[in-house]
Amino acid sequence: MGCMPDRVLIAGGGIGALEGLLAVQAVGRELVRVTLVCASPHLTYRALSVEEPFGAPPAGHVAWEHVARDRGVELVHDVVTAVRADRRTVEMRDGPPLRYDSLLLAVGAVPEPPLPGALPFAGQRDVAAVADAIRGLEPGRAHRMVFVAPTPVAWTLPLYELALLTARHARQWGLDLQIEIVTREDAPLGVFGREASGQVAQQLDRAGIALRTVAFATAFEDGKLWLELEGPIDADLVIALPALRGRALPGLPADEHGFTPVDPYCRVRGLDRVWAVGDMTTRPLKQGGLATQQADVAAEDIAARAGAKATVHPYEPFLRGLLLTGDEPLFLERRPHAPSGSRARTEFLWWPPHKIVGRHAVRYLEQVSADAGLRRG
């Protein structure tokens, strides 16, 4: 008789969990048996929520029940509340503890309270409030709107999209609207490198959006956005990206902000057979495409531990981002360890041309998109 397959428990409801599920099945095949723990009934394409305040239909989603049936995995609608690595079990909010041979965590992070006085944007939960605020700008009267990337926020691409889409909205509706971005970055989306950042700066210039870099906003009150060094600037409306806080699950190591430390193979430091990926980890860039790359690394390692003939490679981020501009989207990428690897094009730099890039998950979503209602970026 053959050995029983390893019980792989995956916790999370986002793109990192889906990528981990598909990748561990692709590499581990009959050597693994997957259980997915997820509270949400749907995987939602959150990266497209920036378009919703401007009248786009809600971001598409796919039911986890459909994924579970299609991939032959057990689905548990619950929440992991603690990890007991010494017993290889997780405690659950509603149900009994679950056992595992390997545990992959992709439980995300929690938005912090926003910049005082500013309107936050952290995805779909803030769409209605942002849409109402933009609709409240009166035609025939001059307005000034500021988009803020606070100091702890490393992934700022949605802020630039909101500013560019607002500029398009103002042109279409004849609004007298001045728009400015305030960011602690040295250059707009500088994380993508010089060429890509330069292209983003040109997009902002064409849209008439002012840019204030290396600036640190502290609060918005009484029509003034207060900056640490420059003092107050006038504003009618301020929208800010919130910082994130880790979930700090009992049984997991955590830094002072609740994020879980992992090694280059996405193994949780100090624990055996526990991996973590995505926003919940101490890695500073919180982005769906990077979460899928981390999930691939973890899946290879999990499958190898189960006996698969897999070569496990350490995580080396390849950063890709699709910037929605209100006109032609801009494809941005930066290769690892390559200062000259910065590129920005209106032509496709990858396929399928989704906002999130993943080896397995995006192809899978492409296959089910007709039934699930997903939209591409």
Share the mean pLDDT of the chain: 93
SS3 state at 191:
helix
**Of 251 and 373, the one with more pLDDT:** 251
Q: What is the mean pLDDT of residues 130-153?
A: 92
Distance CA 94, CA 164 (A): 43
Helix or strand run (H / E) with residue 66: helix 64-71
**Residue 339 pLDDT exceeds 70:** no
6-109+246-318+359-372 and 119-240 in the same fold = yes
Alpha helices in 306-375 (DSSP H): 361-372
Please answer whether residues 374 and 66 qualify as being in contact, where contact means their C-beta atoms are separated by less than 8 angstroms.
no
Q: What are 178-208's pLDDT values in tens digits?
A: 999 999 999 999 999 999 999 999 999 999 9
**Residue 328 pLDDT exceeds 70:** yes
Selection from 319, 339, 341, 323 nearest residue 331 by Cα: 323
Q: What is the mean pLDDT of residues 241-256?
A: 96
Q: What are 61-91's pLDDT values in tens digits?
A: 899 999 999 999 999 999 999 999 999 999 9
Which CATH fold would you assign to the domain 119-240?
A: FAD/NAD(P)-binding domain (3.50.50)
Structure tokens at 169: 């909205």
Selection from 261, 79, 241, 272 nearest residue 161 by Cα: 241
Q: Which of 28-42, 79-93, 182-196, 333-347 has the lowest mean pLDDT?
A: 333-347
Distance CA 21, CA 277 (A): 12
Domain ranges of the chain: 6-109+246-318+359-372, 119-240
**Residue 1 pLDDT exceeds 70:** no
Q: What is the mean pLDDT of residues 134-141?
A: 87
Q: Is the pTM of this model over 0.85?
A: yes
Q: What are 46-66's pLDDT values in tens digits?
A: 888 899 999 888 877 899 999
Which CATH fold would you assign to the domain 6-109+246-318+359-372?
A: FAD/NAD(P)-binding domain (3.50.50)
Q: What is the mean pLDDT of residues 121-131?
A: 92
Looking at residue 322, its amino acid is L
SS3 state at 77:
coil
pLDDT recorded at residue 373: 47
